[in-house]
Every structure is written in structure tokens, then in C-alpha cells.
Amino acid sequence: MPPNKTKPKTNRGSTSKQRKNPGSGVPKAAGPASQRAKAAGKTVRKARRGGLDTNLKVTLSLVAIAIAVLAVVLVVNRDGGDDVPASEVAQTVVRPDSHRLSSAADGKVTVVEFLDFECEACGAAYPGVERLRAEYGDRVTYVVRYFPIASHPNAFNSAHAAEAAARQGKFEQMYVKLFDNQTAWGHKEQSQVETFVGYAGELGLDVERFRADIASPEVDARVRADAEDGQRVGVQGTPTFFVNGARYEQQPTYEALKKTIDDALAR
């Protein structure tokens, strides 16, 4: 008869369940040595937390310093033209070939505007500028410089149109035409070149010559040369005015510009 095969008992060892009080689900209270170990562990953890807090404070301080340095750099970059000598600024804001809408015989006051024909702020300043031009006439030299903003769909096209008209002696007429009709052609994603060709026809220009000039590399280079001069003297947006080589920092309202011009004339 085969011997009885009795399955041997195995010792599974102690488990977390076996170490718990019945029905409590909570581990048994530890002895004094265990309590001391726990207390030591808490002290270590607290010290570690303190170290983390200190490290965090140091990190935040470094971040704050970095932000402050960055802010200074941005201000310096924004006002990069402030480091250009005044004599160089005066020569840069007005070039021999710059477009003058009026010329003062005594040359005492020169107002320069870097503008974008599609810029709404330039359009808002335009009526006040025209009023000042009418009032001061040839007592003030008024100069227009191109500064097309790349985010405006037809900023370059409109500047090219003004320059193409200038090549036929009609810069001022196209300048007026573009601003008077800004709401009709401005901020349209499609090219407005044909609209500008229509304006050229209304102004009596040679339309075929105008059409060729508006697309020519020479006209584009002339527009970009103005914009580069603007960047050299710290122009960041439009309109930006200079009065006798000094940047005009106030809002370009009729009243504020008039006061600045009157002050310059009185000197």
C-alpha cells in the first residue's frame, strides 16, 4: 500500500497582516528603539526639507536677478538709437534724397516722420500733420521717411507706390492719396498693387512706367534704405517723429506737435 503523502506545512513567514492588531488595521506600537529611529528619521526629513527650502530661495533669487538683467537688456536694445551721437542722428534721419513735403528757407525747424502708409496710428496722426503743414507752410521743413511694418500686408507695396510716384515727381500727391484712402485698401490680405496703379492713373502718371517702377529692385532698395536708417536711430514702430534730430517722445497729436514746433521756432 503506498505510503500516505502528506503535504508538508510551509512557513510563509510573517506578513504585514500578521504584524497588525486584529481588527484594527494599524501596525502594533513600536518599542522605544523603534520610536527613537522614527524620531531620528523625522529630524533628517525636516533637515532635508529645510535644505530644499533654502535651495528654492536661492533659485528664486537667481531667477529674479536674471529677469532684472533681461529687462535692462531689452530697454537698451529698444532704445539702441540713444547711443548714436546727436550729430550722426541728425545726418541719419534726413538724407539728401529724403522726400520733403515742405522746406524752410532758414532751415531752423525740421520735422521728420518715419511712417507706414498702412499703419492705423499713422493714419490717425495724418490729419493733424496736414493741419500743421498748412499752418506753418515754408517755416518748417517736413520730411517723410519710409518704415514699412512687415506684419502689414501692403506696407511695402504702398511704400513702393509712393516711391514709384516720386520718380515721376508726384510723391506728395501719392502720399495724400494713400492716407486719404487708407480705409479702402489697408489691412487687406490681397495685394493692393492694382489699386495703387489706379491711383497713379488718377494722378496723371505714366501708368506703364509706374507699374514697372513699383516692382523694380531699385524702388525696393530705396524703401529699405529708409527703414535701415530708422533702425539705426532706434525707430521701433510708426509713426516716429524727430524734431531737429531729437526724437519726439509724446503722443503725435496736433496740439502736442504744435507746441514742440513752436518751442523750436522760439529758440
**pLDDT tens digits, 128-165:** 999 999 999 999 999 999 999 999 999 999 999 999 99
135 and 222 co-located in one domain: yes
- Spatial separation of the C-alpha atoms in residues 233 and 143, rounded to whole Å: 16
Q: Domain tally for the chain? A: 2
**CATH code where residue 128 lies:** 3.40.30.10
246 and 156 co-located in one domain: yes
> Which residue among 48, 78, 108 closes a domain?
78
Asked if pLDDT for residue 67 goes beyond 70, the answer is no
Check residue 74 and give its pLDDT. 36
Sequence-distant (≥ 6) Cβ neighbours of residue 229 within 8 angstroms: 92, 93, 95, 145
Q: Tell me phi and psi for residue 187, to 5 degrees.
A: 55, 40
pTM of the model: 0.70
- Spatial separation of the C-alpha atoms in residues 42 and 45, rounded to whole Å: 5
Sequence-distant (≥ 6) Cβ neighbours of residue 163 within 8 angstroms: 146, 171, 213, 219, 222, 223
104 and 180 co-located in one domain: yes
189 and 231 co-located in one domain: yes
101 and 146 co-located in one domain: yes
120 and 160 co-located in one domain: yes
CB 177 within 8 A of CB 203: yes
- Spatial separation of the C-alpha atoms in residues 22 and 118, rounded to whole Å: 83
Query: Residues of the chain with pLDDT > 70: what percent?
Result: 69
CB 132 within 8 A of CB 257: yes
182 and 223 co-located in one domain: yes
162 and 204 co-located in one domain: yes
Q: Would you say residue 195 lies in a domain? A: yes
Beta bridge partners of 142: 102, 111
Domain with 56 in it: 30-78
Q: Which residue has the cell 506737435?
A: 257
49 and 113 co-located in one domain: no
260 and 202 co-located in one domain: yes
Helix-strand-coil split of the chain, %, nearest 5:
55, 10, 35
CB 110 within 8 A of CB 94: yes
Q: Would you say residue 4 lies in a domain? A: no
- Spatial separation of the C-alpha atoms in residues 143 and 118, rounded to whole Å: 18
Check residue 35 and give its pLDDT. 54
**Cβ count within 10 A of residue 44:** 10
**pLDDT tens digits, 188-225:** 999 999 999 999 999 999 999 999 999 999 999 999 99
211 and 142 co-located in one domain: yes
User: How big is the chain, counted in residues?
Assistant: 267
Q: Would you say residue 22 lies in a domain? A: no
Q: Would you say residue 5 lies in a domain? A: no
217 and 154 co-located in one domain: yes
Check residue 79 and give its pLDDT. 44
**pLDDT tens digits, 73-93:** 333 344 445 567 877 898 999
CB 152 within 8 A of CB 84: no
